[in-house]
Amino acid sequence: MAADLPERLVYAGFSLGAVPAQKLAQTRPGAAGARRYYSCVPLEAFGGVWPEGVPVQIHAMDTDPCFVGEGDVDAAREVAAHAEDAELFLYPGDQHYFADSTLPSYRPEAAALLRARTLEFLATV
């Protein structure tokens, strides 16, 4: 249970897992940061406000039908606009799980950049 976890965590989620990661980062006191991969939900889903001092990064492909076609890109832009330290990275391509090397959707160049940005982010929190 999240209540048993320490504070100062970075909450990260991939695709559908981005929803609970966003909820915890947005509502649980003491979050150190948030990372979303392939998905994002509107701020209103969890109270309408991004917490002060919580950096966030969102990663997806710019023509991913799930991310763009289902409104996640709009939610990501909203989060980025309301967080004081936010980055939205849109990689060229249309794959959803582009960083998973076990899937045909894997895109090595985008995955390498995502990995580098993730490690850089984690080094700063």
Report percent pLDDT > 70 for the chain. Answer: 100
Query: Is residue 6 scored above 90 in pLDDT?
Result: no
Which whole number is the average pLDDT over 77-87? 95
Whole-model pTM: value is 0.93
Q: Within 13 Å of residue 4, how many CA atoms lie on the same side as its CB?
A: 1
DSSP state of 40: -
Pick the CATH number of 2-124 from 3.30.2130.10, 3.40.50.1820, 3.40.50.2300, 3.40.50.10860: 3.40.50.1820
pLDDT computed for residue 5 by the predictor = 79
- Domain positions in the chain: 2-124
pLDDT computed for residue 2 by the predictor = 74
Query: Is residue 96 scored above 90 in pLDDT?
Result: yes
Distance CA(95)–CA(104), nearest Å, equals 9
pLDDT computed for residue 34 by the predictor = 97
